[in-house]
């Protein structure tokens, strides 16, 4: 659990994640989401909805150390333009943000703020969505190979045989936590938001598989952010 906290947030003692770290991603994601939802709920009682939504998005960036947003930007720079596989991986390792990454980051942040501003605060559903997004990260890492030849921070995740069925552990944990929270937070619409969030993560995973042949740490971050954003859009639908 402590390694998962250190991996997903700027809190805790830094350390190299292990394959078992993946099992703790769903509950840690739920705790992050509950904190974000709490900020949203409290801010909504002091400011207008757009301000409360912006503060919630800012809180999410702070609680995650902007790690997942950085992964989203790097993934956009590497996966979206027409490049060969080797060049994609090189671009994604470059800390500089290119045009694709900058535009994607701005658009996603605007969508997140707009979606949150259009609905009443439901902290339990945010906790559910954030749990689902980390569950998706764990499943991608357990079912896809690591795309780089040399190690990165998440290369240890690739040590788990994709056919070895340890993917069931985070899936079970995520389901047990996310589904009840979604039902308590928004009833049957909460389940729809989870389904849409899963589709968002699946799109990122499919793109990474097609263009990289596997996942990287940036891909995990991008999958999480897109899953959350897709779920927020479903929540905000009329």
Least confident segment among 4-13, 50-59, 123-132, 152-161: 152-161
* The pLDDT value given to residue 121: 87
Report whether 121 contacts 237 (CB < 8 A): no
Closest to 64 measured CA to CA, from 9, 22, 13, 27: 9
- Crossing angle (nearest 10°) for helices 25-44 and 123-143: 150
* The pLDDT value given to residue 11: 79
**pLDDT (tens digit per residue) in 120-150:** 989 999 999 999 999 999 999 988 988 887 6
Give the ranges where the chain is alpha helix by DSSP (H).
2-8, 25-44, 49-63, 67-79, 85-93, 99-117, 123-143, 168-186, 188-212, 217-236
The pLDDT mean for the chain works out to 89
**pLDDT (tens digit per residue) in 80-95:** 999 999 999 999 998 8
* The pLDDT value given to residue 159: 47
- Residue 10 in this model has a pLDDT that exceeds 90: no
Strand partners, 215: 146
**Which is higher by pLDDT, 38 or 14?**
38
């Amino acid at each position: 659990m402590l390694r998962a906290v250190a991996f997903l947030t700027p809190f805790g003692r830094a350390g190299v994640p292990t394959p078992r770290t993946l099992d703790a991603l769903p509950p840690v994601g739920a705790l992050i989401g509950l904190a974000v939802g709490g900020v949203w709920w409290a801010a909504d009682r002091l400011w207008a909805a757009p301000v409360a939504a912006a503060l919630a998005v800012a809180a999410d960036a702070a609680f995650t150390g902007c790690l997942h947003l950085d992964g989203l930007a790097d993934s956009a720079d590497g996966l979206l333009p027409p490049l060969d596989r080797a060049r994609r991986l090189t671009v994604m390792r470059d800390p500089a943000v290119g045009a694709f990454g900058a535009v994607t980051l701005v658009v996603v942040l605007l969508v997140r703020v707009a979606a949150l501003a259009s609905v009443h605060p439901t902290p339990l559903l945010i906790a559910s969505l954030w749990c689902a997004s980390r569950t998706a990260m764990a499943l991608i890492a357990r079912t896809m190979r690591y795309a780089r030849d040399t190690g990165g921070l998440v290369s240890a995740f690739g040590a788990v045989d994709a056919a070895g069925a340890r993917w069931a552990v985070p899936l079970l944990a995520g389901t047990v936590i996310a589904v009840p929270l979604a039902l308590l937070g928004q009833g049957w619409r909460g389940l729809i938001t989870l389904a849409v969030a899963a589709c968002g993560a699946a799109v990122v995973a499919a793109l990474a598989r097609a263009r990289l042949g596997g996942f990287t740490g940036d891909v995990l971050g991008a999958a999480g952010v897109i899953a959350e954003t897709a779920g927020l859009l479903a929540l905000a639908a009329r």
